[in-house]
Chains A and B, each alone.
Chain A
Amino acid sequence: MTENILIAMIVIPLIAGLLSLLLPKKGCGVFALLAAAVNFILAVSIFNKELNLTFPWAGFGMAFSLRLYQFSGFIMLAAAFFGLLISLYSLSFLKDKDYRRQFYAYLLISLSFVNGAVLANNLVVLLFFWEGLLVTLFGLIVIGGKQSFRTATKALVIVGLSDLCMMAGIALTGYLAGTLVISDIHLGLGSLGGLAFILMAIGAVSKAGAIPFHTWIPDAAVDAPLPFMALFPATLEKLLGIYLLARITLDMFKLDAGSPLSIVLMILGAITILIAVMMALVQKDYKKLLSYHAISQVGYMILGIGTCLPAGIAGGIFHMLNHAMYKCGLFLTGGAVEKSTGTTNLENLGGLRAKMPVTFICFFITAASISGVPPFNGFFSKELVYDAAMQRGWIFYLAAILGSFFTAASFLKLGHAAYFGKSRKENKDAKEVSVFMLIPMITLAAVCVIFGVFNYLPINNFIKPILGARAEGHNFTGSSVNMTLGIITVLVLLGAIIHHLMAAKIMGGGIKAAEHIHHAPVLSVVYRWAEKKYLDPYEVGVKFVKIISKLLWRIDRGIDWIYESLTPSAALFVSRTIRRMHTGYYAVYIAWSLVGALLIMLFIFR
């Protein structure tokens, strides 16, 4: 009987999502909230249980097989928690929007697919739900407005391409392992195994939004509805991407600390941290700045898991959870500011601290968390990652700590520009948002504090059971963190504050505190390229395809000209010439016949 709850986890949100398309616009928000609440209650009820369910499906080893265990239950619980908060928040945020029904429908269907993907114990079932999320992703971006279709297409192409890689990886994995049942797959990293791992990892990290699969996220920050940003790039995609990355590194493949692929993952993580945070630093839009951090923070998770050390893996997964908390919270404060002032452009914001005190406090806590300030949760997960990175090589640690410095700097800039300083006339009417929007923000901020101060709660309940045997003999809770690294972190953060204060004083204003980095000799060129999208693989690819298609069009016109003009005129020319030869004199015709006869005789007697 209890096995059927697994089916209910998939079916209930799906049916609720389809139903909400039929409901009147006023009721569908409440309905979606109820459905998300049911989903959450179900997720809580089955958390920490082990269930298996299999029934035949497509044949050829593709059974519809679901498996609930520690890890999947945890991810599902987190997803359901955020789904509930976002639907509560959207109740107020999307009050007057026309696309409400579609938003809630896509949200619930996405939750259903996330549950399906997480529960799947068959690679094909996993792929089915994984690809299904592509549809809701497209739908959620495209409802945002006129400009959003372009962004939605971009997201679809990028994520779709990497999903293709994953599909190839799944096929290869299934071929190598001889089974599609995930829990039975334990492969080494031989030449083909390594390829399969890379292909699967591309699918996982691109879902999480790592560089270079990230470029649609900042565009979506501008175009898509804000709750989408809080839901998808900030939480659900991180949960899924890191979940899959952890599964393939922990269970399906035997990735060891000595493996070159581990180094590749760590390098990818370090690059993602640095590039995205540098881009975040110079943004002048609330949401866009956050979206770059959503990319940057993935770097810590990939770096952590890539170390293949217990501390790193625990740190990576813990960071995923923490990131979902504070990034979701940050996006929600951004939404509150947008709702209240009508803009998210930092140049038009200022002095909101007094007008929106609750929002400001929530922002302060979540921003401190993301910057890794003790005793908030981000500090502890980052410390675990630092510890593991330091063991694998100081260069990775350096990248990570540098990333922390810039993260802190950019949030100091954001907070300074939006909440401190002079109040602008554009937002003099701003006031605190409704309670429906405040509850999710307060909840998230509170969780950030709880998971920080009482970090043994999530670590012992959620993280350690996932690691299983690997975690034995290790203690990841607060007291065991490497004290030296902790002190360095605090010093770096202090440095960031001092830097910000000085820069703001010299440049005149919080928003300009990072300008000197923007205009630094080499960096300014890179930034200019980035702003012109030269560094966006998608845009470059699109340009390249356009050039190719133009070229092909020219060739096509050429061929067409041969058909359209050259061939007919040549044929007509030949035809007229032949016609002129037929003069009508029979003597000529006899002459032709005789010449023809002569030629034939010569040919026969040759």
Chain B
Amino acid sequence: MPSLFVLTPFLLLVVVNLPFKFLRKQIALWPAVGGMLVAQVVFSTFYPLNIGRGIADPFEQFFMFGLSLDSLSSIMLLIIGIVAFVSVLVASSMISEERQVFHFLNLILISVIGMNTTVLISDIFSLYVFVEITALAVFVLIAMEKGKFAIEGTFKYLILSAVASVFMLTAIAFFLMAVGSTSFAAIKDAFASNSSDAFLLKLGTGLFLCGLLIKCGVVPFHGWVPDAYSAAPASVSVLLAGVVTKVSGVYVLLRLFGTVFILNAALQNTLLLVGIISICFAAFASLTQTDFKRMLAYSSISQVGYIVLALGAATPLAFVGAVFHFFNHAIFKSLLFVNAASLEKRLGTTDMDKIGGMGSKMKVTSATSLIGLLSTAGIPPLSGFWSKLIIIIALFSAGRPVYAVIALLASALTLAYFLSLERKVFFGKVVASPAAETKASFGITFSEVLLAAITVAAGLGFAFILNTWLLPLKEIVH
């Protein structure tokens, strides 16, 4: 039933835009979008448990491109569902104006359609198209607040995405020349058979990689990340950091370089180098940031570095670790951005020099942020520990001990910058009292608790998750 994941949001989009006044009432809109996303979470969660599989897809003929649902896509759909749901929850408590709500929901539905299709599709050109659709919706979402920084952030993202598009389109052209088709299966065969033009394939791979690395936002392609993440409105930054860049960049990287292309030694080394440089560089950079969201942005770059690093190890175990870290990172980074949204809503700023001693006033936010950052830093038994552990073990067993040790040491840096954040924001002296004694909204508090609970549960039930959802991934890695 993969087409339902595309058609349902599409139908909802059509319904939302029907010219009936009562439908625009936000009371009806929020639950509709939220409910759709919950349904997506539920379906994708039970996919690996063999429920609903084997039913013929009656809508398949509507699509020119093939959709296929496998273990990797189902995890991606789950992540998209969770994070988009949280983003909608946060937005529901941050945005109140009716027109804004209407715009926001339209755009988020478009981006969900784009991302869902991206993870289901099995054709490299269509994949590019849906990545662009997602990006377009998100450009507008970032700029929705119309401030100077929002425009600047959007613009940087837009320009660098354009550069990425150029790389990726050129690469697709090369693939078409070399293979004669753009479907994954054909490209995979071409790599395996050695019958096609090796030079063109190599060129295409390299260019596509560069484009994807811009989309991932890893060093040295990361220039847009801090600005875009910190300029976006709170609910959008959750979506952007949690899934958009992850799906349009990291997922595609995992899909293509993990299951379609064959990684030769040069590519492996490239990925390892880019990964380790990202980890260290961004971790150092976040050490002296004074803005909560910018620090999170650099931390994101660093964490994506772990995923790229694991991919570079090119073993099934490393791939499993990369996907697990993908999941964990989406959850805890969303959690931390929700924490930032909570602070922003309460205090009107995320500048850490102006915040202090909020621990006693915002108990849920401070407790959940502690869980989020400990998970990021890889403290047992939280989920982030297990994924980092798998990655480091995989690096060792792949014969890359130096990278493993550096990655391990960089975890200490992660802990350092997050502890300094925690000390400044939640402990220490109260610097500024809240502008208004607003009560924390239900949407934000609920998302914080939900995401923290997932982090803790994924850490404690790590063995079950690994066996049920992650180990099937080994089958699709070549």
Q: In whole angstroms, what is the CA distance A604 to B273 when docked?
A: 12
User: Which of chain A's residues have a CB closer than 8 A to the CB of B289?
Assistant: 579
Question: For A572, what are the chain B residues with a Cβ–Cβ distance below 8 Å?
Answer: 287-288
Q: Assess whether A554 is interfacial by the CB under 8 Å rule.
A: no
Q: Bound complex: CA of A595 vs CA of B266, how far in Å? A: 18
CB distance from A575 to the nearest CB of B (A): 4
Chain A residues within an 8 Å CB radius of B287:
571-572, 575
Interface residues of A in 584-606 (CB under 8 A from B): 584, 586, 588-590, 592-597, 600-601, 603-606
Q: With a 10 A CB-CB cut-off, give which of A579, A592, A593 has the most chain B CB atoms.
A: A593
CA distance A26 to B221 in the complex (A): 89
Q: How far is the CA of A584 from the CA of B205 in the complex (A)?
A: 30
- Measured between beta carbons, the chain B residues less than 8 angstroms from A58 are none
Q: A572, A579, A588 — which one has the most chain B CB atoms within 10 A of its CB?
A: A579
Say whether A582 contacts B226, CB under 8 Å. yes
Contact status B206-A575, CB under 8 Å: no
Report chain A residues within 8 Å CB of B274: 600
User: Complex: how many Å from CA A604 to CA B203?
Assistant: 9
Binds A, one of B43-51, B68-76, B207-215: B207-215
Q: Is B132 an interface residue (CB 8 A)?
A: no
CB of A601 within 8 A of CB of B206, answer yes
Q: Nearest Cβ distance between residue B229 and chain A, in whole angstroms?
A: 13
The reply to whether B288 and A582 form a contact with Cβ atoms under 8 Å apart is no
Q: Is B315 an interface residue (CB 8 A)?
A: no
Contact of A590 with B160 in the complex, beta carbons under 8 Å: yes
Q: In whole angstroms, what is the CA distance A603 to B272 when docked?
A: 13
Q: Is B52 at the interface (CB under 8 A from chain A)?
A: no
Contact across chains for B284 and A575 when beta carbons are under 8 A apart: yes
**Chain B residues, Cβ within 8 Å of A582:** 223, 226, 285
A449-489: contact bitstring with B at CB < 8 Å (1 yes, 0 no)? 00000000000000000000000000000000000000000
Instruction: State whether B416 touches A571 (Cβ < 8 A).
Output: yes
Contacts between the two chains (Cβ within 8 Å), count:
81
Measured CA separation A427–B227 after assembly (Å) = 95
User: Are the C-beta atoms of A592 and B284 separated by less than 8 Å?
Assistant: no
Within 8 A of A (CB), among B192-224: 202-203, 205-207, 209-210, 213-214, 220-221, 223-224
Q: Which A residue sits closest to B199, measured CB to CB?
A: A605
| Smallest Cβ-Cβ distance to A594: which chain B residue | B163
Q: Decide: A597 near B269, CB < 8 A? Known: A589-B156, A604-B206.
A: no
A576 CB-CB contact with B under 8 Å: yes
B223 touches A575 (CB 8 A): no
C-alpha gap A593/B281 in the complex (Å): 15
Kindly identify which residue among A571, A576, A589 contacts B413, using a CB–CB cutoff of 8 Å.
Answer: A571
Task: Assess A579 versus B285: contact at CB under 8 Å? Given A593-B221, A604-B206.
Answer: yes
Question: Chain A nearest CB: distance from B169 CB in Å?
Answer: 14
* Residue numbers in A under 8 Å from B226 (CB-CB): 582
Known: A589-B223, A593-B221. A605 touches B159 (CB 8 A): no
Interface check B389, CB cutoff 8 A: no
The answer to the question of A574 belonging to the interface, with a C-beta cut-off of 8 Å to chain B, is yes
What residues of chain A lie closer than 8 Å to B267, measured between beta carbons? Answer: 604
Does B270 make an interface contact (CB < 8 A)? Answer: yes
B-binding residues in A (CB < 8 A): 571-572, 574-576, 578-579, 582, 584, 586, 588-590, 592-597, 600-601, 603-606
**What are 7 A-B contacts defined by CB distance under 8 Å?**
A571-B413, A582-B226, A590-B223, A593-B220, A597-B167, A600-B209, A604-B206
Q: A571-B287, A578-B285, A589-B223 are in contact. List 7 more A-B contacts (CB 8 A).
A: A576-B288, A582-B285, A586-B156, A590-B223, A593-B221, A600-B270, A604-B266
